């Protein structure tokens, strides 16, 4: 049997168990919750969040030290 076929057979025989299914379900649930949150977010907050990277109100040195 060629090495590639041996690896394919070895991977096929691995048992992932219930943890793989639980992880997949947790990911799908978290993804759906994030999408729902994004759609139900108040418009004011969405507008504020949309402009955060573009706002230059904050100075680069906010710790009070002058250089």
Q: Give the span between the Cα atoms of 67 and 64, in whole angstroms.
A: 10
Alpha carbon distances (Å) from 34 to 5, 14, 22: 40, 32, 18
H or E element that contains 7: helix 3-13
pLDDT of 57 higher than 70: no
Confidence (pTM): 0.50
Average confidence (pLDDT) over 42-66: 71
Q: What pLDDT shows up at residue 56?
A: 65
| Tokens encoding 59 | 């100075």
| Sign of the C-alpha dihedral computed for residues 38, 44, 47 and 53 taken in this order | negative
Specify the higher pLDDT residue, 61 or 32. 32
Query: By C-alpha distance, which of 14, 13, 31, 35 is closest to 23?
Result: 31
């Amino acid at each position: 049997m060629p090495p590639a076929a041996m690896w394919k057979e070895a991977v096929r025989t691995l048992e992932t168990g219930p943890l793989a299914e639980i992880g997949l379900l947790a990911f799908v649930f978290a993804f759906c919750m994030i999408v729902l949150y994004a759609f139900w977010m108040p418009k004011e907050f969405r507008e504020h969040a949309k402009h955060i990277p573009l706002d230059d109100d904050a100075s680069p040195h906010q710790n009070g030290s002058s250089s």
